[in-house]
Amino acid sequence: AEMEHYHGGALDGGSCRALMGVADQLFVKILAMLEELHDDVSFNTIRSHVVKYKRALALLDVVWSSVRGVDGILPTEAFLATLEEDIKLAREAWLDAGLNIRGHPKAHLTFDGHLLDQVREFGGLADMGEDWIEQLHQVWKKERMLTWQIPNFEKQQLCQLSNMRIKENMRVVAVKSATNEARKRTFKPSVDNAAVSLIY
């Protein structure tokens, strides 16, 4: 997991998935750290609060992972009913964890009915997805890795732009496409192989 500058120092999607993959182990470490910091509070009290946060975040993930929508498939009434119930459970868990809704615009959007209305009216939030932005982040991240040894920042930027212009040049794209097509290997079974396949 790495901090990315284009997210203001936050984690990108890949790093978030890597982090959540070891969430259980992290919660154990968080519990131990909190117990050291708050020696006047019992372990069970700390664990209770941490478990509440864990449940709230897990339910929030359930809600938001289900509202992206699938291209060409509109949400059914059964899906909307399930989503409404999931939002209700997530709202209860959020408040139970002592988290604020009014002070968080995204929490207000999620829990106060706007999210459900948006999905019902427009069939999901896929059109609002930022996947294409994330893809561009990866492109420029690769360019930074290729030019990181250039000490002068301005020259580094010019080099990155030059590389991108070359890659996007229509003649270069056409040549690459033709080369890749010509490189494709066609596997034809030989006479011996065909004979063997008939025997078996």
Q: What is the pLDDT of residue 49?
A: 84
Tell me the C-alpha distance between 77 and 185, whole Å: 49
Q: Which two tokens stand for residue 196?
A: 């063997």
**Angle 68-49-32 from CA coordinates, rounded to 5°:** 105
Q: Which two tokens stand for residue 112?
A: 């106060």
pLDDT category of residue 133 using cuts at 50, 70 and 90: low
Q: What is the pLDDT of residue 62?
A: 87
pTM of the model: 0.55
> What Å distances lie between residue 137 and 51, 112, 144, 182, CA to CA?
34, 32, 10, 31
Question: Are the C-beta atoms of 83 and 119 separated by less than 8 Å?
Answer: yes
Q: What is the pLDDT of residue 148?
A: 82
Q: How many CA atoms lie within 13 A of 130 on its CB side?
A: 7
Query: What is the torsional sign of CA 82, 87, 90, 96?
Result: negative
